[in-house]
A = this chain, B = another copy of it.
Amino acid sequence: MASDRRTLLADAALDVLVDEGIRGLTHRAVDRKSAMPPGTTSAYFRTRAALLTGLVTRLVHLDQAELQTMAEELPPLRTVEELVDGMVLLTRQRLTGEGRRRSLARHACAVESVRDPELRAILVPRENAGREAVRMFLTTHGVTDVENRTHTLLTCIDGLVFDRLVNGGEVPREALDGLVAAALR
A172 at the interface (CB under 8 A from B): yes
**Can you name the residue of chain B whose Cβ is closest to the Cβ of A157?**
B159
What is the size, in residues, of chain A's interface with B at 8 Å between Cβ atoms? 41
B21, A112: Cβ atoms closer than 8 Å: yes
Instruction: State the Cβ distance, A142 to closest chain B Cβ, in Å.
Output: 16
A162 at the interface (CB under 8 A from B): yes
Q: Can you pick out 27 interface pairs between chain A and chain B where the beta carbons lie within 8 Å of each other?
A: A21-B22, A21-B111, A22-B22, A23-B23, A104-B111, A107-B107, A107-B110, A113-B166, A114-B165, A114-B166, A120-B166, A120-B167, A124-B167, A125-B163, A148-B174, A151-B163, A152-B175, A155-B159, A156-B159, A156-B160, A158-B159, A159-B160, A159-B162, A162-B162, A178-B182, A181-B182, A181-B185
A156, B179: Cβ atoms closer than 8 Å: yes
Instruction: State the Cβ distance, A105 to closest chain B Cβ, in Å.
Output: 10
B148, A175: Cβ atoms closer than 8 Å: yes
